[in-house]
Structure 1
C-alpha cells in the first residue's frame, strides 16, 4: 500500500481475540478440551462395548441353537451312558478320582468357579486364600463323584445293611427316626441340601420303607432327563417337576399321607429373605408353609462323603418348630430354623456343598449386609 502500512489479517485478529487473557480463562479452556476428549472417548468405548455385546449375543445364540439340536442332545445323552458304563467297568472309587482330576482342570475355566470362589470368600472371610482354594477344589471333586455315583446308586443301596452298617458303604445316624416316621402312619416332611451325595438320602429312605415324593428340576436335555428320571424312579415314589404348580402337588401328596423330600438350599426368586452365612438370601419357604398347613412332623437329613469312600447319612429327630399365639406353626420362623440347620451342615463339610450356585443373587445391593 502507498502509505507503507500492512493490511491486518482478520483471522489473526480473531485468534488474538479468542486467546485467553487470564489464568481462569486458560483453565476453563483446558477443562472444556478435556470434557470434549472424555466425551469422545466414552462414545468410542460405548460403541466398542456394544459391538462386543452383539458379537457375544450372536455367539451365545449359536451355541444355544446347537445345544438344543436333537442330534447334539442325543450325542450328549449317549456320552453320559458311555461314562456310566466306563465307570462301572473301572470301579466307583477309581472312576471318581479320575473324574475329579478332569473336573478340577476344566472347572477352573468356568464362570461357576469364579462365582464359587466369591461365595466362599464372603462366607469365610477369616480363612486364608489357600484354605478357601482347598474348599473350592473339594467342591469340584464332590461334584464329579456325585455324577459318577449315579451309575452306582442302586448298588450302594443294595449293599446297605441296616443290621450291619459298619461293614457297608453307608452308615445312618438316626435310623430310629426313619423307622418312627415310617410306622407313624402320618405324612411328614424331610428336607435336605446339596451336600455329599444328596440323591443317596432319598434312596436309603426308600430302602428302609420311607419313599418320598420329591420336587426336582429336570435337565434341559430331554434324553438326559429321561435317563435320570429312570434312575431316580427306583427310589423316589413320585417326581414332581418344579414349576408354578409344584406347591399344589406337594400339598396334595401330604394330604394323601405321603412323605415329602425336598432340597431347600437353593435360591428361590419369590422366596423368604433369610440370613444365610451372614447375608440375606431369598430361600425356599416350602417347609414352613407346608408344616403350617398340615402340622406334620419335619425332619432334616443329609449325607457326608467319608475319606474311605463310604457315606455318613444323618436323620434328625422331628424338629420343635416355633408356633404362634394360636398354636399353629409359624411358617417364617420355621424356615429360619430350617435354613439355620442347613448352614450348620454346610459348615461341618464346606467342601461338599454346591457353592457354585448363586445363592445370594437377588437383593445383593440391599441385603448383602453382615449380621
Structure 2
C-alpha cells in the first residue's frame, strides 16, 4: 500500500516527467551498473552544487560541523551530490547486483550474523538507518536473509513516477511489501504490521515536526518518536545499519548488534533515551562519511541562530 491517490488526474506534465524518468532509467539499465553509477555521479556533482537547494546543505554543515571551512563544506556538498547521482544510476540494477566480496559491482555485508540470528529467532524487528550511502540497497540486501521489511514512505507528487519507482523497489526485493504513509495513519498501520510479527524499516534522520526534541550534532532536532514507542511497547529488537559506498556500484552493508532497550520504569524517558541513542549512533556514522549523507533535509530547527565559522 502506498500514498498514491488513484483518483488524482494525470496531467500532460506528469506524463512527460514519467517518460523522462523511464528513459533515464532505461539508459542506466542498458549501460550497466558501473557506467550508470559513474554517469549519474558526474551529472549530479556537475549540476547539483550550483542549485539553490545546496544552500540548505551549506547551512546544515555550518550548524552541524562548524569546524569545516568553506572549501571543506563545498567538498562535502560535491561528494553528497555525487552520491545522489550514483544512487540514481544504480537504482535499476539493485535487483541484479551480486552478493560478493570482490572489487567489482556488487555488495557484501559486515555483521551478517545479526541478520542470521534474527531470522532464526523470528518475530517482529525494527531496522533503523538514515539516508547514508545507497540507502536503497538496504531493503533488498536484508531481504536476502529472509527478513523483507516494510517501510514508511512519502510518494512523489507524480503518481506515474511513483509507480515506476515502486515497481523497481519490488523487483529489487523480489516481492511486494506494504508501505506506510508518514503520519498518524501510517504509524497505526505500521504498528498493526509489527504486532503481527512483521519487519519494519525506518529512516529516522529527517525532521519530524510532531516528533520529540532530541539532540543531533549537538543541536535540538525534532525526531520521529514512533520507532522508540513501538520498540519499547513490544520489546522487539532494534537493529541499526547503513550502507557504505566503496566505489561505483560497489556497496557494503554494515549491520550492528541489536540495541539495548532502556527499561528505567519511566515510559516517556525510556523513549527519549532510545531516540537519543539512535541519533548519537547515526551522528557518529555521518561524521565518518559526511559526503555520503543527504544534507539537503531541513533537519534542524532552522529558527535557531547559527553562528557562521570563520573562513
| TM > 0.5 | yes
Q: Which residue of 1 aligns with 2:4?
A: none
RMSD: 2.1
Q: Compute the displacement of 1:299 (Å).
A: 0.6
Instruction: Give the whole-Å Cα distance in 2 for the aligned partners of 1:210 and 1:115.
Output: 36
C-alpha contact 1:187 1:257 (8 A) present in aligned 2: yes
Q: SS where residue 223 of structure 1 aligns?
A: helix
Instruction: Give the whole-Å Cα distance in 1 for the aligned partners of 2:115 and 2:242.
Output: 13
Instruction: Give the whole-Å Cα distance in 1 for the aligned partners of 2:168 and 2:128.
Output: 21
Q: Which residue of 1 aligns with 2:25?
A: 84
* Equivalent of 1:239 in 179, 192, 197: 179
Q: Is the counterpart of residue 225 in structure 1 residue 162 in structure 2?
A: yes
Q: Compute the displacement of 1:85 (Å).
A: 1.1
Instruction: Give the whole-Å Cα distance in 2 for the aligned partners of 1:184 and 1:329.
Output: 28
* Equivalent of 2:65 in 120, 124, 145: 124
Q: SS where residue 281 of structure 1 aligns?
A: strand
Q: Compute the displacement of 1:79 (Å).
A: 0.7
Q: Compute the displacement of 1:280 (Å).
A: 0.7
Q: Which residue of 1 aligns with 2:42?
A: 101
* Equivalent of 1:336 in 259, 276, 281: 276
Query: What residue ranges of structure 2 are gaps of 5+ in the alignment?
Result: 1-8
Query: What residue ranges of structure 1 are gaps of 5+ in the alignment?
Result: 1-67
Q: Is the counterpart of residue 147 in structure 1 residue 88 in structure 2?
A: yes
Instruction: Give the whole-Å Cα distance in 1 for the aligned partners of 2:129 and 2:61.
Output: 20
Q: Compute the displacement of 1:293 (Å).
A: 1.1
C-alpha contact 1:323 1:329 (8 A) present in aligned 2: no
* Structure 1 residues 328 and 254: alpha-carbon distance in aligned structure 2, compared to 1, 3 A threshold: farther
Instruction: Give the whole-Å Cα distance in 2 for the aligned partners of 1:320 and 1:328.
Output: 16
Instruction: Give the whole-Å Cα distance in 2 for the aligned partners of 1:82 and 1:237.
Output: 26
Q: Which residue of 2 aligns with 1:165?
A: 101
> Would you say how many aligned residue pairs link Structure 1 and Structure 2?
295
Q: Which residue of 2 aligns with 1:272?
A: 212
Once the two structures are superposed, the pairs formed by residues 328-367 of structure 1 within 5 Å of their partners are 330-361=270-301, 364=304
C-alpha contact 1:281 1:362 (8 A) present in aligned 2: no
Q: SS where residue 53 of structure 2 aligns?
A: helix
Q: Compute the displacement of 1:328 (Å).
A: 10
Q: SS where residue 262 of structure 1 aligns?
A: strand
C-alpha contact 1:112 1:357 (8 A) present in aligned 2: no
TM-score, scaled relative to structure 1: 0.75
* Structure 1 residues 97 and 166: alpha-carbon distance in aligned structure 2, compared to 1, 3 A threshold: closer
Instruction: Give the whole-Å Cα distance in 1 for the aligned partners of 2:205 and 2:112.
Output: 23
Q: SS where residue 135 of structure 1 aligns?
A: helix
Q: SS where residue 247 of structure 2 aligns?
A: coil
Q: Compute the displacement of 1:69 (Å).
A: 6.4
Instruction: Give the whole-Å Cα distance in 1 for the aligned partners of 2:81 and 2:164.
Output: 23
Instruction: Give the whole-Å Cα distance in 2 for the aligned partners of 1:295 and 1:233.
Output: 29
Instruction: Give the whole-Å Cα distance in 1 for the aligned partners of 2:154 and 2:220.
Output: 24
C-alpha contact 1:214 1:260 (8 A) present in aligned 2: yes
* Equivalent of 1:305 in 224, 245, 257: 245
Instruction: Give the whole-Å Cα distance in 2 for the aligned partners of 1:258 and 1:165.
Output: 30
- Which of these two proteins has the greater Rg computed from alpha carbons? 1
Larger RCO, structures 1/2 (Cα 8 Å, 6+ apart)? 2
Q: Which structure features the higher share of helix residues?
A: 1
* Structure 1 residues 230 and 329: alpha-carbon distance in aligned structure 2, compared to 1, 3 A threshold: farther
Q: Which residue of 2 aligns with 1:14?
A: none
Once the two structures are superposed, the pairs formed by residues 170-181 of structure 1 within 5 Å of their partners are 170-181=107-118
Q: Is the counterpart of residue 196 in structure 1 residue 137 in structure 2?
A: no
Q: SS where residue 50 of structure 2 aligns?
A: coil
Instruction: Give the whole-Å Cα distance in 1 for the aligned partners of 2:46 and 2:122.
Output: 49
C-alpha contact 1:269 1:362 (8 A) present in aligned 2: no
Q: Compute the displacement of 1:326 (Å).
A: 7.1
Q: Is the counterpart of residue 136 in structure 1 residue 94 in structure 2?
A: no
* Structure 1 residues 258 and 131: alpha-carbon distance in aligned structure 2, compared to 1, 3 A threshold: same
Q: Compute the displacement of 1:327 (Å).
A: 9.2
